[in-house]
Amino acid sequence: MSVSMIPAHHPDPEVDTAHGYVANMTQTLAARGIPVSDVWLDPKGPVDATIITGKNALVWDEWTGWRIGIYLSGRQGVRTVLKDPRQLGGGVLASSLAIADLVTSGSSLPLVTRQPHARDGLFDTLRRF
């Protein structure tokens, strides 16, 4: 792998809150043999992140959790565009092991979302990663 599996810290503290969670996800994917070639934290509204895995990408956001699709475009600061995206489900903070299993099996779990600007402790939980 030519790039670090850890995303760079983001200058916006709210976006950077996802750093540990996304870093944990990239490490788990790589440990499961899923090649990670790039990873970054994206803009907010919603806060999101992208993990490039070959021709596909995983995109996480604070409202819907993880989705996977064919990577078309994107970079830090620009929303990632996927072809044929599929929600992986399992909640906004699904475990890295569950997501790795879903990626390798091609399956998904029920979609559990959260409302924009919800005061549900998500960012407090993210800070613990």
pLDDT tens track for 69-88: 999 999 988 899 999 999 99
pTM: 0.92
Report if residue 96 sits inside a domain: yes
126 CB contacts (<8 Å, ≥6 apart)?
Answer: 17, 18, 20, 21, 93
Report if residue 57 sits inside a domain: yes
Computed over every residue of the chain, the mean pLDDT equals 92
* Contact criterion met (CB below 8 Å) for 59 and 50: yes
Report if residue 121 sits inside a domain: no
What is the tally of structural domains in the chain? 1
In whole angstroms, give the CA distance from residue 13 to residue 70.
29
Range of the domain at 61: 13-108
Report if residue 67 sits inside a domain: yes
Instruction: Look at residue 43 and tell me whether its pLDDT is greater than 90.
Output: no
Instruction: Look at residue 48 and tell me whether its pLDDT is greater than 50.
Output: yes
Report if residue 117 sits inside a domain: no
Instruction: Look at residue 128 and tell me whether its pLDDT is greater than 90.
Output: yes
pLDDT of residue 1: 38
Report if residue 115 sits inside a domain: no
Instruction: Look at residue 40 and tell me whether its pLDDT is greater than 80.
Output: yes
Report if residue 73 sits inside a domain: yes
Report if residue 21 sits inside a domain: yes
Higher-confidence position of 3 and 35? 35
